[in-house]
Amino acid sequence: MAKMNAQEIAGALEEMAEIMEITGENPFKIRAYHNAAHVVDGLTNLDHLVADEELVKVPGIGKALAEHIAALYKKGHFPEYVQLRKSVPAGVLDMLRIPGVGPKKVKVIWKDMEITSISLLKLACERGGLAKIKGFGEKTAQKILQGIQFIQQHQDQHLYSDALAVAAPILAFLKKHPKVKRVELGGSLRRCKEVVKDIDLVASSSDAKKVMADFVKMPGVESVINHGDTKSSVIIKPGIQVDCRVVSDKEFPYALHHFTGSKEHNVALRTRAKAAGYKISEYGLFKEGKGGETLIPCKDETEFFKKLGLEYIPPEMRENMGEIEAAEKDKLPKLIELKDLTGFFHCHTTASDGKATLDEMVAGAKARGYGYIGISDHSQSAVYAGGLKPAELKKQWAEIDAINKKQKAIYVFKGTESDIHVDGALDYPDAILKNFDFVVASIHGNFNQDMKTATARVCKAISHPACRILGHPTGRLLLAREGLPLDFEQVIDCAVKHDVAIEINANPHRLDMDWRHSFYAHKKRLKIVISPDAHSVAGIDDLQYGINVARKGWWTKADVINTWPLEKVKAWLKRK
């Protein structure tokens, strides 16, 4: 095995935790591994932590895990990991992905029935063998069959934008339900994660049973997984699980907070509350006293946080990335909002691969109240996307000059989205590059580079004097393509040095730069832009998705160039 990056190490630790669950290790040790996997997944400076032997300083990582992580980083394996993987067949581990099947059931299926793959398990369910085993029954066998069908038919992850589109009509259905008082999205969708596993809803009602009965029968329900008096789960076309929880209206703020998560945020908040003599559950915030516990009434989440001595923490920030500590000290940043944007840069027209003309894009931006728009069609090497040859550029520049002359309501910047060649060079000669108002440099190919080569390539592009924005830095496509492996600390350092902004690409398939890199970026005072990468007028509205992840990365208005007034933007583009 070769050396691993942070995400691969997180996967290995998660795998170890799962194996230990099946073999029946100490549950707290298993939790430590799960927790470490989550922590490592969020680390953006693993190289330095390993090199400086500072892993033990990371909360949740102690001496043992620090050694394991360093070993995985350096050579991709260590004895306990190899041993554990040998102890459980891969097919057995796969069974954990089946909804309703956990480690205890897997152990019985494997040890007592000697079944070692999902396909063999399916056979055993169909032939009735599984239902005869102690602790299992006919209903369990049917449920497992359904679960296997589900994971074989659907990906178990969905783009945020896709999940939101499914959630919106369900939310509307519950909002107009006569027995529903309050209802909100919860879970990772409310926290604006870039990909989500399911849709969570929290509602309040005096007749939960009736709400649940109508919920499992609403339009679009493909199958019902659970149907209880206060909690139900269904599968909605095209294969997204929707969980709904109903509580009394008095309990709503606590339940909403609980089901918004993240799990890590909740655990941290509860642990903190417990130390101060409180208890938190989805039913309330309680003060523990000698006469038992007393409920502390809260009318909404703001009051709930206030009673805990905290500022209101926006859902996007609830990832246990330091938000509780910041809220304690009244140091939470004022997060950016869509209305803060004064204009935007990265978008395309029919001159390259856009669906709308230059005039239509400008009109679309104007109609949405923006004061400027930066046109950046693809550059000449991007043959796949109709990249512009120098002669075509001259034509577009003349058109833009005409628009700017004719009206003053919106200013149009002349730009390009220049491919970054495999060696880091930009795509036009310097004599042409210097005539643009701005250059967005982006990766569109040659993704199979190692981190060192890729980082050097991107840094070279950033260092070009014409480059003002690094577009979608890794080129990833969520749930579809990994993207370039980059050392983001180096890339951010380089961008700061050359006063280049890094883009948060708002296209829901990209959302690149990833919000997890923001924390290092803040330390270095990096500037960013939030760009729609619009290929149509409607694509401009993707900006909201970019705002969502920018909020997850704690970005404020001041850090984002396209919140600035036009004159200040013009000056920055001219390096004044």
Partner DNA sequence: GCCGTTTTCGGCCCGACTGTTTTCAGTCG
Q: Which of 438, 262, 417 is nearest to 351 (CA)?
A: 417
Mapping DSSP to helix (H, G, I), strand (E, B) and coil, where does residue 510 land?
coil
User: How far apart are CB 16 and DNA at their closest, in Å?
Assistant: 9
Q: Which of 457, 385, 462 is nearest to 423 (CA)?
A: 457
Binding mask 167-206 for DNA (x = CB under 7 A): --------------------x---------xx-x------
User: How far apart are CB 303 and DNA at their closest, in Å?
Assistant: 20
Question: 50, 101, 285, 470: which one contacts DNA (CB under 7 A)?
Answer: 101
8 Å CB contact between 462 and 500: yes
Q: Looking at beta carbons only, is 198 or 489 nearer to DNA?
A: 198
Give the ranges where 88-224 is alpha helix by DSSP (H): 90-94, 103-111, 118-127, 138-153, 160-175, 187-190, 208-215
41 binds DNA (CB under 7 A): no
User: How far apart are CB 86 and DNA at their closest, in Å?
Assistant: 16
Locate 336 and state its tokens.
Answer: 């950016």
CA distance 404 to 570: 14
CA distance 531 to 376: 11
Q: Looking at beta carbons only, is 276 or 367 nearer to DNA?
A: 276
**Sheet architecture: strand order including 240-247:** 180-186, 198-205, 240-247, 231-236, 221-227
Binding mask 218-237 for DNA (x = CB under 7 A): --------xxxxxxx-----
8 Å CB contact between 318 and 263: no
Locate 321 and state its tokens.
Answer: 């990335």
Q: What residues numbered 60-79 form the site for DNA, per CB under 7 A?
A: 60-66
Locate 448 and state its tokens.
Answer: 């199979």
522 binds DNA (CB under 7 A): no
152 binds DNA (CB under 7 A): no
User: How far apart are CB 230 and DNA at their closest, in Å?
Assistant: 4
111 binds DNA (CB under 7 A): no
102 binds DNA (CB under 7 A): yes
Q: What DSSP designation does 46 have?
A: H
Question: 143, 179, 210, 355: which one contacts DNA (CB under 7 A)?
Answer: 143
Q: Which of 496, 526, 494, 531 is nearest to 511 (CA)?
A: 531
Question: 86, 134, 405, 525: which one contacts DNA (CB under 7 A)?
Answer: 134
415 binds DNA (CB under 7 A): no
Binding mask 263-282 for DNA (x = CB under 7 A): x--xx--xx--x----xxxx
262 binds DNA (CB under 7 A): no
Strands 372-378 and 180-186: unpaired
User: How far apart are CB 228 and DNA at their closest, in Å?
Assistant: 3
5 binds DNA (CB under 7 A): no
User: Which span (85-93, 104-112, 166-174, 329-337) binds DNA, by CB under 7 A?
Assistant: 104-112
CA distances from 255 to 28, 196, 199, 240 (A): 26, 20, 15, 22
Show the beta-strand stretches assigned E in 362-516: 372-378, 411-419, 438-442, 469-470, 501-505
Q: Looking at beta carbons only, is 78 or 572 nearer to DNA?
A: 78
Total binding residues toward DNA, as defined by CB under 7 A: 63
CA distances from 553 to 179, 301, 314, 525 (A): 37, 21, 12, 13
Q: Looking at beta carbons only, is 246 or 537 nearer to DNA?
A: 246
105 binds DNA (CB under 7 A): yes
31 binds DNA (CB under 7 A): yes
Q: Looking at beta carbons only, is 63 or 405 nearer to DNA?
A: 63
Q: What residues numbered 372-411 form the site for DNA, per CB under 7 A?
A: none
36 binds DNA (CB under 7 A): yes
Sign of CA dihedral 187, 190, 191, 197: positive
243 binds DNA (CB under 7 A): yes
Question: 75, 104, 395, 434: which one contacts DNA (CB under 7 A)?
Answer: 104
User: How far apart are CB 63 and DNA at their closest, in Å?
Assistant: 5
User: How far apart are CB 130 and DNA at their closest, in Å?
Assistant: 9
Locate 369 and state its tokens.
Answer: 């109240």
CA distance 146 to 150: 6
User: How far apart are CB 213 and DNA at their closest, in Å?
Assistant: 12
How far is it between the farthest Cα atoms of the chain? 83
User: How far apart are CB 159 and DNA at their closest, in Å?
Assistant: 18
The amino acid that residue 178 corresponds to is: P
Return residues touching DNA (CB under 7 A): 26, 28-29, 31-33, 36, 56, 58-66, 80, 98-106, 131, 134-141, 143, 187, 197-198, 200, 226-232, 241, 243, 259, 261, 263, 266-267, 270-271, 274, 279-283
